[in-house]
Amino acid sequence: MSERVIKVGLCGFGVVGQGVFNHLRKREKLLSDQLGARVEVARIAVRDTSKKRDFEFDASMLTTDPVSIASDPEIDVVCELMGGTGLALEVTLAALKAGKIVVTANKALICDHGERLFTAAKEGGGQILFEASVAGGIPVIKAIKDGLVINRFSSIYGILNGTCNYILTRMTNEGASYEKILEEAKALGYSEADESLDVDGIDSAHKAVVLAYLAYGRWVPYKDILVQGIAEVTQEDIAFAKENGYAIKLLAVIDVAHASGKLYISILPTLVSKKYVLGSVDGVHNAVSIHGDVVGETVYIGPGAGRDATASAVIADVVDATKLIVNGGAGRFVDPAPRNGDQIELAEPEEIESRYYVRLEVADKPGVMAEVASMLAKNEVSLASVTQKEVEENATSATLIITTHYTTEKAILEAVKALEESSSVKGKPFTMPISSFED
Amino acid sequence: MSERVIKVGLCGFGVVGQGVFNHLRKREKLLSDQLGARVEVARIAVRDTSKKRDFEFDASMLTTDPVSIASDPEIDVVCELMGGTGLALEVTLAALKAGKIVVTANKALICDHGERLFTAAKEGGGQILFEASVAGGIPVIKAIKDGLVINRFSSIYGILNGTCNYILTRMTNEGASYEKILEEAKALGYSEADESLDVDGIDSAHKAVVLAYLAYGRWVPYKDILVQGIAEVTQEDIAFAKENGYAIKLLAVIDVAHASGKLYISILPTLVSKKYVLGSVDGVHNAVSIHGDVVGETVYIGPGAGRDATASAVIADVVDATKLIVNGGAGRFVDPAPRNGDQIELAEPEEIESRYYVRLEVADKPGVMAEVASMLAKNEVSLASVTQKEVEENATSATLIITTHYTTEKAILEAVKALEESSSVKGKPFTMPISSFED
């Protein structure tokens, strides 16, 4: 019997694309034994055909036109590994319209155009698989889609950006400033030349939108997410965290407000208890905690980026695609998210509750503490602790660190705004939630 | 279009069986929307039809003959949730021979009869799915089979028995003896009346055999595994662990010896560094760390047992089975393990290396330390540290705690045997590996 061949087209042949190519070829025999079909990279789209690559391959596979791969009737599976949301969108839509299975690692694409892509898949009889788009090599999307399929989800917490976690870990371990560690991370290749996607929380937000869709069946617009990066975290914050049993993590929170049952997503530097498993996930690692109503909490930890880790996830999807094609289920689009009938609503800031940490620089003069306390009280924010370190004799300002009891996001944002406008407060106060994960 | 119905037969309607029944029914609509087929529990085999159950159901579904379900042509998926390896084997074989998909949570069955069951599945055109057999609700088997499919595995470490982890955690937190905590665990229902399956490491060994098959394609006979339970762990061991930055875990190790490339499996109380994630997984939780050659290390943590957590995993397999049937791939048996051609060999004790901890009771008289040291040296075991706490004036024996440098399992077993036979040593020394997970 002649073996069936599944033809894969790689659109993008950078770090991840070459990793996919290499590992698919190295394990070709093992895969074909398991799958009853041979998985073959048949075409590769690149920007520059003359560029030197890490692996040997037949140059006749190359094209500079990824759309031609997406519409090639010979190609079964299209791997979109170009990044961006321009040409990548065009390629993905073309492939889905042609009824192909698209495998992508592109969280920005899914976040910005998920609804349109899923509709195109449904209409064209294609599928879109995106394991590599969240948490790199950790198969967390398959866990939500398959392993935990019977669950409804009450919350998902994630450390979704390895670069931020790496910087915060080194700031904690070494006592160095954000600026210094970021510079070194760039030199080591752990952060892009333009670091803003990572450190401003944008990448984490893209991933959170994908997770929220899987868990709740709703595409949350990026603009409806409260996103703050790690650039304002200082050694004062880290010292507070250490002294009080916390670690600072850029935490993605996808949660349902207790009272209203509405959904909210935020990406914020957060004080996470060291006793809680996510508080101890350090370095470039990612971690995702998923609360299911049947299973309880499961946690997934591992490498969130890197050529091989991402390739591992892309190939897992290529294998799933191959099984679908071999079994005959490829043409029936399966929406991975539960259709809840009535879509879950988004929570308003007054429905979201947390404890908060506030650091502010105040004038070192009589009456300031009373003024700050009264501004918080006016916004119904109740103080849990206040710390002011002793200042030098000739200093004109002092750092005040405040923690609050449970209050709403609306109240804390308004209180902080009021503080910022006060003449006794210098600069912008820095605020982050405190998550003890006791409940 | 009339909706397709997938008929499920439950063999066993205890805690897990009822959990599966309840959650399948509660989420029937959600599942059928996603799957394009309705999943329906059509028959239930019980031992006692008159027994009161937790959920309402149509009594006409009941039978006392599970084999009749396994051979019922109306049934598509058989869930074997009876436990044991007698009738459960008969039911499973009958269903596989009839080309059905069997879903089981029975690690003892897979461990003891895996090879036979897989052969029966292959020959009969059936499938056997067993997500719930290892680590309860954590979808770790799907991670190995699907999410990490392109990887070869260098090692898997697991905390696979929640009862043992619960007992060790409470011994650590409360300073109470093994016997006292075990008694309380039994009263709370965390341990069976006959605790030996749990505390003697047998349950963990069953699960390790399943994981080893998935990772290496070899069924390792139970008798070839070094298994030791937690009954001999004392507060002296726990005190040593605390003082030196370790936690004691009943750790399943599935590893490949560095030098020889051969496989070994052990279930042993182990000193695990608190800095390593598994050293901080406490209480009834399970955890599995998987090292893949492409992805690196990924770790999975969650509830390892319990009605709902196990039901969550069983239902995930029922959903996979439904997809296979709907798509048309049900009849093509897929072996989840890589076929490596030449099967991996088992390592001998002289090929397995670790650092070790040894606690022994020695006569409090001159020359004993020299004797102990020379016996270890004779077996080529090199001391890293020795501690003898000050003894009371009239004591006749003292506790000696020794840690070694890297040595072989053979050497440590022989050295400990020699110590045991010495007249200066009272009773049986207690030994466990020290895993720093630095490499």
- Restricting to A residues 330-349, those with a Cβ less than 8 Å away from any Cβ of B are 332, 334-335, 338-339
Cβ–Cβ under 8 Å, residues B325 and B40: no
**A4-136+307-327 classified as CATH 3.10.420.10:** no
What DSSP element (H or E) covers B326?
Answer: helix B307-327
The whole-number pLDDT of residue B90 equals 98
Cβ-based contacts of B327 with chain A (< 8 Å): 324, 327-329, 332
Q: What are phi and psi of A10, to 5 degrees?
A: -95, 120
**Computed over its alpha carbons, how large is the radius of gyration of chain B?**
24
The whole-number pLDDT of residue B2 equals 65
Tell me, yes or no, if B207 is annotated catalytic. Answer: yes
Residue of chain B nearest A287, judged by CA positions: B299
The mean pLDDT values, 10 residues at a time, for chain A of 439 residues are: 87 96 94 91 95 91 97 97 96 97 97 96 94 96 95 95 96 96 88 87 97 94 96 97 97 91 96 94 96 96 92 97 88 75 82 95 89 93 91 86 96 95 93 80
Q: Rounded CA gap, A103 and A323, in Å?
A: 14
Domain residue ranges of chain B, discontinuous segments joined by +: 4-136+307-327, 141-302, 350-435
Q: Rounded CA gap, A72 and A78, in Å?
A: 10
Lowest mean pLDDT among A366-375, B28-37, B244-253, B329-338: B329-338
CATH architecture group of domain A349-435: 2-Layer Sandwich (3.30)
The whole-number pLDDT of residue A45 equals 98
User: What share of chain B in percent tops pLDDT 90?
Assistant: 83
Mean local confidence (pLDDT), B301-327: 94
Mean local confidence (pLDDT), B176-199: 89
Q: Does A271 touch chain B (CB under 8 A)?
A: no
Mean local confidence (pLDDT), B274-291: 95
pLDDT band at B439 (very low <50, low <70, confident <90, very high): very low
Asked whether the predicted pLDDT for residue B342 surpasses 80, the reply is no
Sign of CA dihedral B109, B114, B115, B118: positive
Q: Does A3 touch chain B (CB under 8 A)?
A: no
The whole-number pLDDT of residue A439 equals 44
Classify domain B350-435 at the CATH superfamily level.
Answer: ACT domain (3.30.70.260)
Q: Does A122 touch chain B (CB under 8 A)?
A: no
* Amino acid sitting at position B299: V
User: Would you give the DSSP letter of residue A223?
Assistant: G
User: Would you give the DSSP letter of residue A105?
Assistant: -
Cβ-based contacts of A4 with chain B (< 8 Å): none
What distance, in Å, lies between the first and last C-alpha atoms of chain B?
58
**Computed over its alpha carbons, how large is the radius of gyration of chain A?**
24
Of A146, A315, A328, the CB nearest to B329: A328
Select the CATH number that applies to the domain covering A141-303 from these four: 3.40.140.10, 3.90.1150.10, 3.30.360.10, 3.40.50.300: 3.30.360.10
Mean local confidence (pLDDT), B366-375: 90
What token pair was written down for A355?
């404890």
Helical H runs in B244-339? 307-327
> B3: how many CB neighbours lie within 10 A of its CB?
9
Mean local confidence (pLDDT), B37-51: 95
Q: Does B8 touch chain A (CB under 8 A)?
A: no
Tell me if A303 and B295 make a contact (CB, 8 A cut-off). Answer: yes
What token pair was written down for B206?
């069953």
Q: Does B162 touch chain A (CB under 8 A)?
A: no
Cβ-based contacts of A334 with chain B (< 8 Å): 34-35
Q: Does B84 touch chain A (CB under 8 A)?
A: no
- The string of DSSP codes covering A314-382 is HHHHHHHHHHHHHHT-TTS---SS---SSPPPBPPGGG-EEEEEEEEEEESSTTHHHHHHHHHHHTTPP
Tell me if A326 and B324 make a contact (CB, 8 A cut-off). Answer: no
pLDDT band at B413 (very low <50, low <70, confident <90, very high): very high
Tell me if B34 and A335 make a contact (CB, 8 A cut-off). Answer: yes
Q: Does B274 touch chain A (CB under 8 A)?
A: no
Q: Rounded CA gap, B187 and B195, in Å?
A: 12
Mean local confidence (pLDDT), B15-25: 96
Mean local confidence (pLDDT), B381-408: 91
The nearest CA of chain A is from the CA of B424 a distance in Å of 44
**B141-302 classified as CATH 3.30.360.10:** yes
Q: Rounded CA gap, B78 and B127, in Å?
A: 10
The nearest CA of chain B is from the CA of A36 a distance in Å of 9
The whole-number pLDDT of residue A364 equals 86
3-class DSSP state for residue A263? strand
Asked whether the predicted pLDDT for residue B1 surpasses 80, the reply is no
Report chain B's mean pLDDT, rounded to a whole number: 93
Tell me if B319 and A149 make a contact (CB, 8 A cut-off). Answer: yes
Tell me if A324 and B319 make a contact (CB, 8 A cut-off). Answer: no
Cβ-based contacts of B299 with chain A (< 8 Å): 299-302
What token pair was written down for A433?
């939630």
Could you report the per-residue pLDDT of B217-231, keeping only the tens digit for each?
A: 999 999 999 999 999
Could you report the per-residue pLDDT of A51-60, keeping only the tens digit for each?
A: 999 999 999 9
Q: Is the pTM of this model over 0.90?
A: yes
Q: Rounded CA gap, B200 and B207, in Å?
A: 14
Strand ordering across the sheet containing A62-63: A62-63, A37-45, A4-11, A77-80, A101-104, A127-129
The whole-number pLDDT of residue A395 equals 84
Q: Where are the beta strands (DSSP E) in A76-117?
A: 77-80, 101-104
Of A280, A209, A274, A270, nearest in space to A244 by CA: A274
- Restricting to B residues 225-254, those with a Cβ less than 8 Å away from any Cβ of A are none
Asked whether the predicted pLDDT for residue B42 surpasses 60, the reply is yes
Mean local confidence (pLDDT), B117-123: 95
Cβ-based contacts of A315 with chain B (< 8 Å): 149-150, 294
Cβ–Cβ under 8 Å, residues B254 and B208: yes
Cβ–Cβ under 8 Å, residues A170 and A177: no
The whole-number pLDDT of residue B364 equals 86
